[in-house]
A and B are shown apart, each in its own frame.
Chain A
Amino acid sequence: MEKYIFYAFAAILLFSATMVITVRNPVRAALFLVLAFFTSAGIWLMLEAEFLAITLVLVYVGAVMVLFLFVVMMLNVNLTPVQEGFTRYLPLGILVAALITAEMIAVLGASHFGLDIVSAPIAHGANYSNTKELGRLLYTVYVYPFEIASVILTVAIVAAITLTLRRKTSKFQDPGKQVKVRREDRVRLVKMDAVKPKPPAVASEETAS
């Protein structure tokens, strides 16, 4: 049963990954990438890595790809000129892909990664919590790498924000100032006598036209 579910997910994953690079419309390509992420989350779920699977959906599908789509829709890119070189570079692409496949087979093949060398992971019971295990490992054994990674990420965030602040061209509202505005700053009450201004009898025709 599990095997068939895996093959179904794998087929959808391969199909959507292929569509990402072959489909003409960039928005559709981005949506196929979403499908690919979602399906790989399904495969991770089958590996009892539910925390990673749900985080993949939360971060990549729920946030990153939304912003991706946002940009693609705003820019209105046309992929056709980009794809013109598709067939021209195809031989080289196939060569690279074949090389990668060969390398992966060499490393992950049965002789190095077979069941007799690396045993299959044991299936855990219903009350096994992948989230708890991951948290325990991250905050005990791997606490320094974890902290260093988070500091690096923070530096990246600060750097990205500083880059946008380099040029002071953005306009923004200052809510404090907006709240402080009083009527006197905007409207001027003018006292006038209630007299009817005399209509200039001669010029009336010209002003109408």
Chain B
Amino acid sequence: MIDLLMSIVDWVTAQTVLYTMIKIVAIIAPLLLTVAYVTYAERKVIGYIQVRIGPNRVGPFGLLQPIADGLKLMLKEVILPAKSNMYLFVIAPVLAIAPALAAWAVMPFDATLTLANIDAGLLYILAITSMGVYGIIIAGWASNSKYALLGALRSAAQVVSYEIAMGFALVGVLVAAGSLNMGDIVLAQQGGFWHWYWLPLLPLFVVYFISGVAETNRAPFDMAEGESEIVAGFHVEYSGMAFAVFFLAEYADMILISMLAAVLFCGGWLSPFEGTFLADFFAWVPGIIWLFMKTSFFLFLYLWFRATFPRYRYDQVMRLGWKIFIPVTLVWLVVVSTAQVMDVGIWFNEQADALRAAL
């Protein structure tokens, strides 16, 4: 057996695989820890917005609350509904979390810090995140419950609709940057705060982030859960760890969308003081810190939205996606393409020349 394996895999390949595994763990372990503390931050932030204190019993300032929650979920029984489709019921949480984690493979944390620096990185992220909806659909169908099925159908329709608007917003980014590679997109925004794409692509940026909130099924677009209408939507039959995995997937997706917003529209790891007199003063700060700060801001927006807006009505969600966002992105795509051809402003100059040089 070992000989057969050795004949297939040589030493160099084995080493590469091992190193890749270690790198994957180095990304996923902090990610899951962050997920735990995003739940804590969510409860604290919403607590303060609603003039409460939030969790404050377990550990200092309630800091051990996520650990306690995790332990509780692990110890609870996973109930399999009698008439559910057992295999699909069990596999659904896995299908939900796998894309949420796999998408991190191409995320550029710093100039040289990427697990897989592939050429079609943006396209890969779009494709992988579009698979996340299967977890929800299968969970809803396999539960053999009316509420779960309704939640799954709502979610499927919503995610597919908003994916189009989101895809168009990302097309705008790649037209502006002239590349699908995540690292190149960040480098194309070099030159300080006013060079980032949030300004020339402002409509796309807004559409992207709102679609991101809708894609992750978060308030005010949490139609898939809709506690007051369909109990808890697609995961109504799940308990214990199976439920926790859905929870993890949702929060990992939130962090992913926030970090993507930072990378694609807010200069990723680039310092906001680039090109100003403060540039040298902040030169010692590693890029990953800037990226995390930008990501935290977008994550805070998620929590802020949840505490501020009431849930949308379902037909209004669909109207917003199809009749407002898609036309807005289409118009702005034309604007961006024209700007790119005409070398407008500080954003479209060098990239256009670089593109022409490449061709």
A67–B156 Cα distance when bound, in Å, is 8
Give which listed residue, B88, B156, B319, contacts A70 with CB less than 8 A. B156
A89 CB → nearest B CB, Å? 29
B103 at the interface (CB under 8 A from A): no
In the complex, which of the residues B85, B137, B159 has the most CB atoms of chain A within 10 Å of its own CB atom? Answer: B137
B359 at the interface (CB under 8 A from A): yes
Kindly list chain A residues whose C-beta atoms are within 8 Å of the C-beta of B160.
63, 66-67
Asked whether, in the complex, the Cβ of B133 is within 8 Å of the Cβ of A54, the reply is no
Asked whether, in the complex, the Cβ of A173 is within 8 Å of the Cβ of B120, the reply is no
In the complex formed, the residue of B with least CB distance to A69 is B137
A189–B180 Cα distance when bound, in Å, is 61
Which of B60-68, B124-132, B196-204, B264-272 is the contact stretch? B124-132
B157 CB → nearest A CB, Å? 7
Kindly list chain B residues whose C-beta atoms are within 8 Å of the C-beta of A73.
137, 141, 149, 152-153
0/1 interface trace, chain A 58-70, chain B, CB 8 Å (1 if under): 1001110011011
0/1 interface trace, chain B 151-171, chain A, CB 8 Å (1 if under): 011001101100100000000
Asked whether, in the complex, the Cβ of B123 is within 8 Å of the Cβ of A131, the reply is yes
Kindly list chain B residues whose C-beta atoms are within 8 Å of the C-beta of A25.
85
Using known A-B contacts A61-B131, A63-B130, A63-B160, determine if residue A130 contacts B119 with beta carbons closer than 8 Å.
yes
Using known A-B contacts A58-B127, A131-B180, determine if residue A50 contacts B315 with beta carbons closer than 8 Å.
no
Kindly list chain B residues whose C-beta atoms are within 8 Å of the C-beta of A57.
127-128, 130-131
Asked whether, in the complex, the Cβ of B359 is within 8 Å of the Cβ of A51, the reply is no
In the complex formed, the residue of B with least CB distance to A41 is B127
Interface size on B, residues (CB 8 A): 35
Give which listed residue, A34, A55, A74, contacts B123 with CB less than 8 A. A55
B194 at the interface (CB under 8 A from A): no
Asked whether, in the complex, the Cβ of B163 is within 8 Å of the Cβ of A62, the reply is yes
Which residues 111-156 in A have Cβ within 8 Å of B in the complex?
129-132, 136
B35 at the interface (CB under 8 A from A): no
The interface residues of chain B, by DSSP majority, are classed as helix
In the complex, which of the residues B8, B9, B118, B130 has the most CB atoms of chain A within 10 Å of its own CB atom? Answer: B130
A53–B119 Cα distance when bound, in Å, is 13
Asked whether, in the complex, the Cβ of B138 is within 8 Å of the Cβ of A61, the reply is no
A55–B85 Cα distance when bound, in Å, is 31
A27 at the interface (CB under 8 A from B): yes
B308 at the interface (CB under 8 A from A): no
Give which listed residue, B13, B130, B149, B358, contacts A62 with CB less than 8 A. B130
B95 CB → nearest A CB, Å? 9
Asked whether, in the complex, the Cβ of B120 is within 8 Å of the Cβ of A51, the reply is yes
In the complex formed, the residue of A with least CB distance to B123 is A54
Using known A-B contacts A67-B160, A70-B157, determine if residue A1 contacts B130 with beta carbons closer than 8 Å.
no
A139–B9 Cα distance when bound, in Å, is 41
A163–B124 Cα distance when bound, in Å, is 35
In the complex formed, the residue of A with least CB distance to B149 is A73
0/1 interface trace, chain B 249-266, chain A, CB 8 Å (1 if under): 000000000000000000
Which residues 14-66 in A have Cβ within 8 Å of B in the complex?
25, 27-28, 31, 34, 50-51, 54-55, 57-58, 61-63, 66
B50 at the interface (CB under 8 A from A): no
B134 at the interface (CB under 8 A from A): yes
Give which listed residue, A129, A136, A173, contacts B315 with CB less than 8 A. A173
Asked whether, in the complex, the Cβ of A129 is within 8 Å of the Cβ of B123, the reply is no
A133 CB → nearest B CB, Å? 11
B276 at the interface (CB under 8 A from A): no
A34–B131 Cα distance when bound, in Å, is 10
In the complex formed, the residue of B with least CB distance to A61 is B131
In the complex formed, the residue of B with least CB distance to A67 is B160
Asked whether, in the complex, the Cβ of A175 is within 8 Å of the Cβ of B8, the reply is no
Which residues 55-109 in A have Cβ within 8 Å of B in the complex?
55, 57-58, 61-63, 66-67, 69-70, 73-74
Using known A-B contacts A50-B118, A172-B315, determine if residue A58 contacts B130 with beta carbons closer than 8 Å.
yes
A177–B180 Cα distance when bound, in Å, is 43
Kindly list chain B residues whose C-beta atoms are within 8 Å of the C-beta of A173.
315
Asked whether, in the complex, the Cβ of A54 is within 8 Å of the Cβ of B124, the reply is yes
A74 CB → nearest B CB, Å? 7
Asked whether, in the complex, the Cβ of A50 is within 8 Å of the Cβ of B134, the reply is no
Chain B residues proximal to chain A, CB less than 8 Å: 8-10, 13, 85, 88, 118-120, 123-124, 126-128, 130-131, 133-134, 137-138, 141, 149, 152-153, 156-157, 159-160, 163, 180, 315-316, 319, 358-359
30 intermolecular pairs with C-beta atoms under 8 Å apart: A1-B8, A1-B10, A4-B8, A27-B141, A34-B134, A50-B118, A51-B120, A51-B123, A54-B123, A54-B126, A55-B127, A57-B131, A58-B126, A58-B127, A62-B126, A62-B131, A62-B163, A63-B130, A66-B156, A66-B159, A67-B160, A69-B141, A70-B157, A73-B152, A74-B153, A130-B120, A131-B120, A131-B180, A173-B315, A175-B319
Top 6 nearest A-B pairs (CB, nearest first) are A62-B130, A58-B127, A57-B127, A129-B119, A54-B123, A54-B127
Q: A61-B130, A70-B156, A136-B359 are in contact. List 15 more A-B contacts (CB 8 A).
A: A1-B9, A25-B85, A27-B88, A31-B88, A50-B118, A55-B123, A58-B126, A58-B130, A63-B163, A66-B133, A70-B153, A73-B153, A129-B119, A130-B120, A131-B180
